[in-house]
Amino acid sequence: MTEPSSASATPFDLDKLQQLIEMMEKHGVTDVSLRRGGEQWRLRRGTPATMVAAPMQYAPAPVSAPAPAAPSAPAAPAAARDDGLLVIKSPTVGTFYSSQSPEDPPFVTVGAKVGPQSTVCLIEAMKVFNPITADVAGTIEAILVKSGDAVEYGQALFKVRP
């Protein structure tokens, strides 16, 4: 648990903090960020899970038409072949975010090296932020969506050169 980043007139209620920790354990949540004014706490426990619930302050994005799905390849479930490039697809419907929060740098940029376990983005669905892993190894050649865009199941998100 991280200490508050700045002093506040009223600290977080320790009973509520204990309840939050118990809820994190009960629901398998491993990472939560809290902010109030200039005060910020981040709770992290265990190893990261596939779903992370974290209050984030993103503006809702207008719904855009989904990109056509690329043909699937038998070699990698989350990737499809396209001119020698692999395509990382969205495993769910939701909102695409390129970083943990608006203040943080993006998980990946064009030219970044990724491995199968590398987190490339978050997709938020029903207030749950799901980290999406590359599931392939290579170099990011293109980012096909912008942070805040609505994405569909199977929509191409990144192109990767193996």
pLDDT classification of 135: cutoffs 50, 70, 90? very high
What is the reported pTM? 0.51
Helix (H) or strand (E) holding 16: helix 14-27
Residue 73 burial class via C-beta count within 10 angstroms: exposed 0-12, middle 13-18, buried 19 and up: middle
Express each pLDDT in 4-60 by its tens digit.
544 445 565 677 777 777 877 777 777 777 776 666 667 766 554 444 444 455 555
Output the average pLDDT for the chain.
Answer: 75
The percentage of residues in the chain with a pLDDT greater than 90, rounded to a whole number, is 41
Structure confidence at residue 134 (pLDDT): 92
pLDDT classification of 78: cutoffs 50, 70, 90? very low
- Four-way CATH pick for 81-161: 3.30.1460.30, 2.20.25.90, 2.40.50.100, 3.40.50.720: 2.40.50.100
* Whole-number Å distance between alpha carbons of 103 and 88: 25
Provide the β-strand partners of residue 12: none
> How confident is the model over 133-154, as a mean pLDDT?
94
Structure confidence at residue 120 (pLDDT): 94
> How confident is the model over 66-89, as a mean pLDDT?
59
Q: Where in the chain is the domain with CATH 2.40.50.100?
A: 81-161
